[in-house]
């Protein structure tokens, strides 16, 4: 047992006092609930150097994948609450998953402190596709029910809910095939397994000239795609995508929550960072801790739950 005592003494010395005063008091752990190399990981990696430049402290990215994020989120509240740990969170995941069954957490268990960007849903086709406009696709779907086949990432995800919403608003009947992640959905598109993809604006940037975006689900056009219309312009009321943010354990003090929120806000405000994100196809948002967070979560929750219900994913 002596080893244990020495070790405890050593860790206490190393980690410093547990009471948070200056933020951050040491290196910060950033838990990503998905595999390394996924979109959430890449996002964290883009933030990493800016955090380190701002605070001169390390931002350590750690992965705890499993259950489509559920494994991490069900453990969020058992993590250190002293501001040394934050966790990546995703919408619609944290709203839809707990409704699908017992996944070990409820949406209310998650203390979101910031939403920093989203990847807007977009209809992606191959460069040699006969569809030049979204109307071409809708016409085809109208005369050939079910035969316009979309690939997308997962079920109950932003892509899937977008497909359901799109079908409902345009009155067509398309087929949605779920793939394990966006990369696999892109591969299916490029390999002609499907006619189109419910992807994101980021796919348009990553694939460049080999694909074409027909419409994006944003309020205004994406600065990186000035020629691609929004769904709204085409008369379809759709602003949606996969949102990313960070959360802290429930026990974190108001002060810690605010500090964490401010830290992410500071990264989001960096001009170079913004340019990097837009170039990669992301769309920036700023939902910080407090009143605006509460109303954002309330609005998104009801929106996703009703969409998931009409998609038949939840009862």
Partner 1 sequence: MLDFILSAASPFNIVLALLGVTAGTIIGSIPGLTATMAVAVLVPLTFTMPTDSALILMGAIYTGAIYGGAYAAILLNTPGTPSAIATTFDGFPMAKSGKGDLAVSVACLSSVFGGLIGALALLFLAPPLAKAALAFGSTEYFWLAVFGLSLIAGLSDGDFIKGLIGACFGILLAMIGVSEVSAEVRYTFGSTTLIGGVEIVSALIGLYCIPVLIDLVATPDRHLNVKQNTADFRLKEAFSIFRFNKLNAVRSSIIGTFVGALPGAGGSIAGLIAYSEAQRTNKAAPKFGTGNPGGIVATESANNATVGGGFIPTLVLGIPGTPPDAVILGALLVQGVRTGPTLFTDSASVVYTFIFGLLLATLLMLPTGLLIGRYAYKAIVKAPKAALVPLVAFMTVIGSFAIRNNISDSIIMIVLGVIGWIASKRGFSASPIVLGLILGRIAEEGFVQSWTIGDAMGNLSGQFFGRPISMVIIGLTLVSVLYPFMPYLKTLLLPRVFPAVLPTSESKADGFKVGFDLFGIAIMGAVGLIFYVQSNDLNVDAAVFPRTIATAMLVLVALAFLKTLTTKQVVDTPIKGSLVRMLSVPVVMLIAAFLIPTIGFIGATTMMGLVLIIPAQHDQYSTKHKLVLIGSVAFVIVACCLLFTQLLGVALP
Using alpha carbons, select from 280, 283, 284 the residue that is nearest to residue 264: 284
Report the residue number, 186 or 217, with the smaller CB distance to partner 1.
186
CA 311 vs. chain centroid, Å, equals 20
> Is the distance from CB of 161 to CB of 308 less than 8 angstroms?
yes
Residue 119 binding partner 1, by CB under 8 A: no
Residue 46 binding partner 1, by CB under 8 A: yes
Q: CB 228 → partner 1: shortest distance, Å?
A: 18
Report the residue number, 4 or 237, with the smaller CB distance to partner 1.
4
Report the residue number, 61 or 234, with the smaller CB distance to partner 1.
61
From candidates 103, 124, 158, 247, binder to partner 1 by CB under 8 A: 103
Residue 251 binding partner 1, by CB under 8 A: no
Residue 183 binding partner 1, by CB under 8 A: yes
From residue 159 to residue 178, what is the string marking binding to partner 1 with x (rule CB under 8 A)? ----------------x-xx
Residue 221 binding partner 1, by CB under 8 A: no
Residue 128 binding partner 1, by CB under 8 A: no
How big is the site for partner 1, counted in residues (CB under 8 A)? Answer: 68
Using alpha carbons, select from 197, 229, 223 the residue that is nearest to residue 211: 197
Phi-psi region of 37 (alpha: psi -120 to 50; beta: other; left: phi over 0): left
Residue 188 binding partner 1, by CB under 8 A: yes
From candidates 76, 95, 122, 186, binder to partner 1 by CB under 8 A: 186
Report the residue number, 80 or 232, with the smaller CB distance to partner 1.
80
> Is the distance from CB of 310 to CB of 169 less than 8 angstroms?
no
Residue 224 binding partner 1, by CB under 8 A: no
How far is the CA of 120 from the CAs of 17, 24, 32, 222, 267, in angstroms? 42, 32, 21, 9, 20
Give alpha helix (H) positions in the chain. 2-15, 39-55, 70-73, 93-100, 134-143, 158-170, 182-190, 201-207, 254-269, 271-279, 291-310
Q: CB 4 → partner 1: shortest distance, Å?
A: 4
Question: Strand pairing of 111-126 and 283-288?
Answer: antiparallel
């Amino acid at each position: 047992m002596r080893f244990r005592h020495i070790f405890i003494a050593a860790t206490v010395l190393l980690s410093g006092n547990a009471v948070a005063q200056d933020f951050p008091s040491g290196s910060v752990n950033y838990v990503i609930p998905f595999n390394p190399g996924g979109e959430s990981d890449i996002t964290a990696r883009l933030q990493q150097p800016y955090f380190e430049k701002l605070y001169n402290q390390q931002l350590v990215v750690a992965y705890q994948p499993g259950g489509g994020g559920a494994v991490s989120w069900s453990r969020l509240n058992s993590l250190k609450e002293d501001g040394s740990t934050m966790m990546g969170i995703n919408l619609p995941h944290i709203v839809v998953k707990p409704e699908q069954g017992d996944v070990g957490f409820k949406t209310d268990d998650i203390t979101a402190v910031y939403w920093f960007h989203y990847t807007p849903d977009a209809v992606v086709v191959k460069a040699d596709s006969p569809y030049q406009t979204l109307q071409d696709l809708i016409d085809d779907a109208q005369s050939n029910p079910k035969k316009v086949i979309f690939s997308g990432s997962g079920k109950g995800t932003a892509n899937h809910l977008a497909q359901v919403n799109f079908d409902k608003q345009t009155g067509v009947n398309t087929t949605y095939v779920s793939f394990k992640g966006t990369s696999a959905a892109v591969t299916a598109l490029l390999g002609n397994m499907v006619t189109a993809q419910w992807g994101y604006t980021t796919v348009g940037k990553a694939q460049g000239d080999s694909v074409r975006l027909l419409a994006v689900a944003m309020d205004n056009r994406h600065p990186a795609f000035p020629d691609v219309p929004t769904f709204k312009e085409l008369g379809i009321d759709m602003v949606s995508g996969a949102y990313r943010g960070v959360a802290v354990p429930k026990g974190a003090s108001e002060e810690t929550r605010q500090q964490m929120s401010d830290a992410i806000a500071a990264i989001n405000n960096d001009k170079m960072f913004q340019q990097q994100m837009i170039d990669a196809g992301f769309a920036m948002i700023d939902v910080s801790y407090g009143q605006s967070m509460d109303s954002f979560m309330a609005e998104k929750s009801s929106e996703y739950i009703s969409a998931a219900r009409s998609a038949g994913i939840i009862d």
